Chains A and B, each alone.
Chain A
Amino acid sequence: MKPVHLLAVFAENKPDQLARVTKELADASVNIHWVGIADMQRFGVIRFLLDKCDLAYQWLKQHGFTVSLVEVLAAEVEDRPGSLHRVASLLSENGISLNNCSGFVFKNRAIVILEVTELARARQILLAQDIPLLSEEELLSL
Chain B
Amino acid sequence: MYWQPDIETLPAKSLQELQLQRLCEVVARVAATVPLYQRKLAEAGVRTDDIRSLADVHRLPFTTNADLRENYPAGLLALPRNEVARLHTSSGTTGKPKALFFSRRDVDQAAELIARCLVMTGCSHGDVLQNMMTYGLFTGALVMHYGAEKAGLMVIPAGPGNSERQLMLMQDFRTTVFHTTPSYALYLADFMEKAGVDARRDLALRKAFIGAEAHSEETRRKIEGAFGIDAYNSYGLSETNGPGVAFECEQKHGMHLWEDNFLLEIIDPATGEPVPDGERGELVLTTLNREAMPLLRNRSRDLTAVIPEPCPCGRTHRRLTRITGRADDMLVVRGVNLYPQQIERVLMGVPELGRNYLIHLRGLDEMTVKVELAPASFDGRAENLLRLEGRVAEKLRAEILVKPRVELAAPGTLPVSEGKARRVIDERVL
Contact = CB atoms under 8 A, between A and B. Distances in A.
Interface of A: 6, 8, 10-12, 38, 40, 42-45, 47, 61-62, 64-70, 99, 115
B380 A68 contact: yes
A70 B381 CA distance: 8
Given A10-B378, A66-B378, A69-B380, A45 B385 contact: yes
A11 B408 CA distance: 10
Given A10-B410, A12-B413, A64-B412, A38 B375 contact: no
Interface in B371-386: 373, 375, 378-383, 385-386
A42 B382 contact: no
B409 interface: yes
11 contacts: A6-B380, A8-B381, A10-B385, A12-B410, A45-B381, A64-B194, A64-B412, A66-B411, A67-B378, A69-B380, A70-B381
Contacts of B386: 40
A47 B194 CA distance: 22
Contacts of A6: 380
A64 B194 CA distance: 8
Interface of B: 194, 373, 375, 378-383, 385-386, 389, 407-413
A115 B413 CA distance: 28
Contact of B380 (A12, A42, A65, A70): A70
A121 B52 CA distance: 83
Contacts of A67: 378, 380
Nearest to A64: B412
B407 A66 contact: no
Given A12-B413, A66-B373, A66-B410, A43 B381 contact: no
Nearest to B380: A8
Nearest to B372: A66
Contacts of A40: 382, 385-386
B351 to A, nearest CB: 15
Contacts of B385: 10, 40, 43, 45
Nearest to B405: A42
Contacts of A45: 380-382, 385
A66 B375 contact: yes
A16 B408 CA distance: 17
A68 B379 contact: yes
Nearest to B411: A66
Contact of A99 (B383, B407, B411): B383
A43 B194 contact: no
A101 B203 CA distance: 46
Contacts of A10: 373, 378, 385, 408, 410
Contact of B382 (A44, A61, A69): A44
Contacts of A66: 373, 375, 378, 410-411
A6 B382 CA distance: 14
Contacts of A64: 194, 411-412
Given A10-B373, A45-B385, A99-B383, A68 B409 contact: no
Nearest to A7: B380
Given A64-B194, A66-B375, A11 B382 contact: no
Given A66-B378, A67-B378, A68-B379, A42 B412 contact: no
A99 B408 contact: no
Contacts of A42: 389, 407-408
Given A10-B410, A64-B412, A38 B378 contact: no
Contacts of B410: 10-12, 65-66
Given A42-B407, A45-B385, A8 B413 contact: no
B408 A47 contact: no
A24 to B, nearest CB: 14
Given A42-B408, A66-B410, 8 more contacts: A8-B378, A10-B410, A12-B410, A43-B385, A43-B407, A62-B194, A68-B380, A99-B381
Nearest to A68: B380
Q: Which of B373, B375, B382 has the most CB of A within 10 A?
A: B382
Closest 8 CB pairs of A and B: A8-B380, A68-B380, A70-B380, A38-B382, A45-B382, A68-B378, A66-B378, A42-B407
Contacts of B373: 10, 66
B187 to A, nearest CB: 13
A81 B378 CA distance: 37
Contacts of A47: 380
A18 to B, nearest CB: 14
B73 to A, nearest CB: 45
